[in-house]
A and B are shown apart, each in its own frame.
Chain A
Amino acid sequence: MKKFLIPLAIFLVLVGFLAIGLGLNPREVPSPLINKPAPAFSLPLLDAPEQKLSAQDLRGKVWILNVWASWCVACRIEHPLLVEFSKMGVVPMYGLNYKDKRDDAIGWLNKFGDPYTRSLSDTEGLVGIDFGVYGVPETFVIDKEGVIRFKQIGPVTPEVLRDDIIPLVRKLGA
């Protein structure tokens, strides 16, 4: 009786581990940037390259940074949702146009709608590296003190928006 239970117990533990493993996303790398100050940047605006916007300018308000590019097919999946979300006016959303050509990016926004308060051009992808971006689209929630509080890798889904982003933004007092 006892002998028979031991392998069964080991098997069940294994099944438990595998079940948890199935639920995890192996491409999702935990970001070391959560609860750390957002990296400093100063980038030209997409629609007005002679003007620059820096992280410092956004101090004192809660904001969202959405990393996107016109060449990024997955960005197109989340885009209608972002356009809808921007109409709610819950929180300002800034776009980080990652390794893109300016004309392509502007054309893309004209075609699919522009949910961004402003978009910043990160042509070389250097600010992307500072933000640890490795799979566009990525979305960050940054609080009034300039600290990164949330990061979404891959397209924002309605569930993520409803269950994570909007409650967090409300809590942070946007």
Chain B
Amino acid sequence: MLERLLVPARRALMQVLACGLVALSYAAEAKEAVSASDDPVLEARVLAIAEELRCLVCQNETIAASHADLAVDLRKQIRLQLQQGQSQAQILDFMVARYGDFVLYRPPLKASTVLLWVGPFGLLLVAGGVLVVNVRRHRRGVQTEEWSQAQAQKARALLDDGSGSP
């Protein structure tokens, strides 16, 4: 398991190092080393879509942020499909068809995800209900509690005693 995480990570590291070296050696001649296309508008759209998608190799990163090989390939794929005139929705569908809802950082509301969306509010309702019932019961308990004859006498004695002395 760890292997599958480490191998791409190690490769990514090597690539970053390699890119760094290349960038250093060409720094005098060119500024851009790894930029994929010259169109900033297109790149912004690619990033916007990539930020909606989870990288399956490093599962807590978006495809926009990840250096994993697969993320690089998928960004390339997004760019290509945008160039072909596909919409954002079409590209997200393309990803879901291959990797499942898991790739979406915002899972859709459907039968299998209802618990995910409604669960927290359901729990809140239950907790609120328990609270209301408990508070009511407590209040009623205080009001209806009756003193025994002995307790009443004891209290009266104490009060009388207090008022008697100056």
Residues of A whose CB lies within 8 Å of any CB of B are 25-27, 29-33, 71-74, 77, 99, 124-126, 129-132, 134-136, 154
* Nearest Cβ on chain B to A15's Cβ, whole angstroms: 18
Interface residues on B, range: 20 to 34
Stretch at the interface among B84-92, B98-106, B115-123, B153-161: B98-106
Once A71-B7, A99-B69, A136-B4 are accepted as A-B contacts, the answer to whether A130 and B98 lie under 8 Å apart by CB is yes
Tell me whether A33 and B98 are in contact (CB under 8 A). yes
With contacts A73-B3, A129-B77, A136-B4 taken as known, whether A30 is within 8 angstroms of B102 at the C-beta atoms is yes
Interface pair A134/B73, CB less than 8 Å apart = no
What residue in chain A is nearest B94 (Cβ atoms)?
A129
Neighbouring A residues of B4 by C-beta, 8 Å: 27, 74, 135-136, 154
A10 → chain B closest CB, angstroms = 12
Q: Which of B11, B73, B99 contacts A125 (CB 8 A)?
A: B73
| Distance in angstroms between the alpha carbons of A157 and B74 in the assembled complex | 29
- Top-9 shortest CB links A-B: A134-B56, A132-B98, A135-B4, A32-B100, A74-B3, A29-B102, A132-B99, A125-B73, A73-B3
B contacts with A: majority SS: helix
- Bound Cα distance A32, B99 (Å): 6
With A and B bound together, what is the CA distance between A27 and B4 in angstroms?
10
Name the CB-closest residue of A to B76. Answer: A124
In the complex, B135 has a CB within 8 A of chain A: no
Closest Cβ of chain A: how far from B102's Cβ, in Å? 5
Chain B residues whose CB sits within 8 angstroms of the CB of A72 once the complex forms: 7
A32 to B110, CA, bound (A): 15
Contacts A32-B100, A74-B7 known; list 10 others, CB within 8 Å: A29-B102, A31-B99, A32-B98, A32-B99, A71-B11, A125-B69, A129-B77, A130-B98, A134-B99, A136-B4
Tell me if B34 counts as interface (CB < 8 A to partner A): no
For residue A121, give the distance in angstroms from its CB to the closest CB of chain B. 16
Residues in chain A near residue B70, CB distance under 8 A? 125, 134
Does residue B59 face the partner (Cβ distance < 8 Å to A)?
A: yes
Chain B residues near A124 (CB-CB < 8 A): 73
Residue of A whose beta carbon sits closest to that of B69: A99
CA distance A135 to B98 in the complex (A): 13
Contact with A along B1-42 (1 / 0, CB 8 A): 101110100010000000000000000000000000000000
Q: Is B97 an interface residue (CB 8 A)?
A: yes
Q: Are B1 and A27 in contact (CB under 8 A)?
A: yes
Which residues of B lie under 8 Å from residue A32 when comparing CB positions?
A: 96-101
Structural contact, A134 and B96, CB atoms closer than 8 A:
no
Q: How far is the CA of A99 from the CA of B59 in the complex (A)?
A: 21
Q: Are B73 and A135 in contact (CB under 8 A)?
A: no
Q: Look across to chain A and name the residue whose beta carbon is closest to the beta carbon of B11.
A: A71
Residues in A whose Cβ lies below 8 Å from that of B82: none
Which residues of B are found within 8 Å of A136, using beta-carbon distances?
4
- The verdict on B57 contacting chain A, using a C-beta distance below 8 Å, is yes
